[in-house]
Amino acid sequence: MLEYALSFLILAGAIFTFIGSLGLARLRDFYTRLHGPTKATTLGVGCLLIASSLYFNSQGEGISLHEVLITLFLFITAPVSAHLLAKSALHQHLPQVGDKKKPARDN
């Protein structure tokens, strides 16, 4: 039964990571590209780290503190860094997909 749970987590992690990477490469502007790594890739890497932690816990080595800490730091830092990148892009007046004209920059 554990093998099925680990297989599901690894497959879900791979799919989420692939979708996040594909979104980063294929979406048209900075604001939409920001969603790929911050949403789907964070979930994908989180699933992979949880699967790794469960596997090493089942091998009798106890709970793996490395994977738990990496998951915790990933889920804390990804939204904060995305928020700071979005605020920086708004401050730089980066154009969005629906913008017809170029915004005036204050120099």
Q: Can you say how many angstroms the Cα of residue 35 is from the centroid of all Cα atoms in its chain? A: 8
| pTM as predicted | 0.77
Q: How confident is the model at residue 51 (pLDDT cuts 50, 70, 90)?
A: very high
Which residues, other chains included, contact 30 with Cβ-Cβ below 8 Å and sequence gap of 6+?
89, 94
Domain definitions of the chain by residue range: 2-91
Average pLDDT over the chain, rounded to an integer: 86
State the Cα–Cα distance between residues 6 and 54, nearest whole angstrom: 8
| Burial of 21: CB neighbours in 10 Å, binned 0-12, 13-18, 19+ | middle
**93, two tokens:** 């007046």
